[in-house]
Structure 1
Amino acid sequence: MNNRSKVFIIAEIGVNHNGSLEMAKSLIDFAVEAGADAVKFQTFRADQIMLHNTPKASYQTRNTDITETQYEMIKKLELDEQMHLILKEYSLKQHVQFISTPFDAPSLDFLVHTLQLPIIKIASGEITNAPLLLKAARSGKRIILSTGMSTLGDIEDALGVLAFGYGEGKENNSIPSRKAFKNAYYSEAGQILLCQNVSLLHCTSEYPAPFEETNLRVLGTLRQCFGLQVGYSDHTLGIALPLAATALGAVIIEKHFTLDRNLPGPDHKASIEPKEFSRMVCYIRQIEQALGNSYKKPVASELKNQKITRKSIVAARSILKGELFTEDNLTVKRPAEGLSPLEFWELLGKTAHKSYERDEVIT
C-alpha cells in the first residue's frame, strides 16, 4: 500500500452479512463490481470481547431488537473459521483483497497465522487495547489504525505500542511498559518502522455520524503530527464526505456497505448500497486524477487553446505610417498572433513604422 498511486478503497462489509455466508458472498460480488480494492469483515468471538450483560450503544438500540443485549446481538453475527476461509478464497477468486478486523487475541492469531492476511485493521474501540496492539505489531503485518473517539495523545500512545512491537519488542522476552512504548515511539528506528507499517484513519465513531462532527480537517492534523499515511473511515450518510476526504489527501477510504439499508442489523442504516458505492468509487477515481500535481504550468490540453483565447495588440482604427501609437488608436483582441498586451505601454508614444488598417495586428 505504501507504493500505491491510487486511493485504496475498502468496502466495509463488517457484520452486514447478518451471519449469512451467501449474503457475505453477494456483498463481495457487488463490491467487486463497484470497483473496491478490498472487502473488510470483522472477526471476533463474542465470549472474548464483552460481558454477557453489556448494554447496546444508542445506535444499536435504534436499529435492532431493544430487548436483546449487545452480546446477544453480536453472537448472532459471528463468522466461524470455516466461513472466513471460504470468504477469503472467494475474494481472491474475485481479485479483491480480503481484510478483517480482529477484536480479540484468538481472532488476531487466526487472521495472522491461518488466513495469513497481509493487512490487519484495528478498530477505533481497540486503540487503547495495548495487548492486542502489541500482538498485532509483533506479527509483522501492516496495520491500519482507526482513530475514532481518540485524542492525539491516545494515538501517540497506541503508536508507541506498535513501534515497540515492530522493533525491540518483537521478541516475547522484551518487557512491555509505558516507558518502553514511549522510548520506542520517540526513537528514530521506531519512527521508521511506523512509517513502513502503519496507516491512520480519521473517523467519527457514531452511526450515522453527524456532518458537523466529522471535522475532515483532522486529516491534515494527523498527517502533520505523525507523518504517516492518512485515510478516512466514513460513517456519515451518503458519499459526499469520502469525496471531500479524497480531495484533502486521504489515501485510504473505508465506507460501510450493505445490500439494503432496510435490512435488520446494527450497521445497515449507516451504510451505502451497491449503486451508491459504485458512484463513490467512480467519483474518487475522477478526483484523484484531477488532483494531479502542485506544479502550475500550462498542461497539454491547454496549449492548443492558448493562442486562440489570449489577445494581441491591434489597431483600434486606421493608423498612418509615422503616426504615434496612443491609447486611442491601439486595443487588444484575439487571437494571440502579435505582440502581447503586456507590451501595450511600451508602444505608447512610439512611431508606427508602417500604416495599419483597423484590427490589423501590430508587429
Structure 2
Amino acid sequence: MGHDDLPGVPVPVEFDRDQYAEIAYADSRGLDWYASPWDEPAVDFLEDLDVVAHKVASASVTDLGLLRRLRETGKPIILSTGMSTIEQIDRAVEVLGTDDLVMLHATSTYPLPAEEANLLMIPTLKERYGVPIGYSGHEPGLQISLAAVAMGAVAVERHITLDRAMWGSDHAASLEPHGLMSLVRDIRIIGTARGDGVKRVFPGELAPLSKLRRVDG
C-alpha cells in the first residue's frame, strides 16, 4: 500500500515482514515495541511477531470488530481518542474493557494548534473511565506535552523524525532527536517535581525557617 510522492514514484506507508523483523532489533536493546493494527488480519500478523501490547489508532476507535479481536489477544491495549465523541469512546471501552487499558487524550490535527489541545480532557477521561490516561501529541514544540504531564498524563506519545522539513504531513508535527531527548529530560523533572500532594516541611526549608520565621505556631 502507498501513495504518490511524485507522479509515478510510489512511497510505501506500510512495512513488510522483513522490515518488522528489523524493528524487532529493539528487543535486544531492552526496548518494548508495538504497532497500530488497522484491521483484524494485522492483529494476527502482530501477534505472530509477539508484540507486548497493541495500539488503537484514533481512526480505529469505531472499528468494533477490530477492537473485539484486540481484546481476544489478552494483551495491554493503548487507546488513542482523537477525532472521537465521548459516546464513541464509551462504546470502544465497552468492547475493550478496562483491564490493561491505557487511554491517550489526543486531538488529531497535524500540526496541533494550542487552542485545540483541550488538555482538561486528561482529568475528565480519568474520572469517567478510571484507567491510566496519557497524551498523544502532534504539536510543534514541547510545551503542550509537558503541560499534559503536569496535569497527570502517565504516558506521552510523540512522532519522531530526522528532519521536520521533510515531505509529508507528519514531519512538521514531529520531534527531531534532540527535541525528543529534551522532552524525556523535562518529563522526568516534572515527574519528580509533582510530588505526592502531602504538605510537609522539607529539609531544604529548615535553614530559612530558623532565620526568617518570627512566631512559632
**Is the TM-score greater than 0.5?**
yes
Tell whether 2:88 aligns with 1:154: yes
Q: CA deviation at 1:100?
A: 1.0
Contact 2:32 2:52 in 1 (8 A): no
Q: Specify every segment of 5 or more residues in structure 1 that has no aligned partner in the other structure, as ranges.
A: 1-45, 48-55, 57-63, 164-193, 312-339, 343-363
Tell whether 2:27 aligns with 1:78: no
CA distance in 2, matches of 1:254, 1:304: 41
Correspondences of 1:1-363 after superposition (within 5 Å): 46=1, 65=5, 73=11, 76-88=12-24, 90-112=25-47, 114-163=48-97, 194=98, 196-311=99-214, 340=215
Q: How high is the TM-score relative to the length of structure 2?
A: 0.93
Letter in 1 for 2:17: E
Considering only aligned residues, what root-mean-square deviation do their CA atoms show, in Å? 1.9
Q: CA deviation at 1:341?
A: 6.3
CA distance in 1, matches of 2:58, 2:198: 37
Q: Specify every segment of 5 or more residues in structure 2 that has no aligned partner in the other structure, as ranges.
A: none
Letter in 1 for 2:171: H
- Taking only the aligned residue pairs, the percentage that are identical comes to 38
CA distance in 1, matches of 2:208, 2:57: 50
What is the aligned length?
216
SS of the equivalent of 2:34 reads: strand
Q: How high is the TM-score relative to the length of structure 1?
A: 0.57
Q: CA deviation at 1:67?
A: 6.2
Partner of 1:321: none
Q: CA deviation at 1:235?
A: 0.6
CA distance in 1, matches of 2:18, 2:201: 56
Q: CA deviation at 1:92?
A: 1.5
Q: CA deviation at 1:203?
A: 0.4
Q: CA deviation at 1:221?
A: 0.6
SS of the equivalent of 1:216 reads: coil
CA distance in 1, matches of 2:161, 2:28: 21
CA distance in 1, matches of 2:32, 2:206: 41
CA distance in 1, matches of 2:155, 2:57: 15
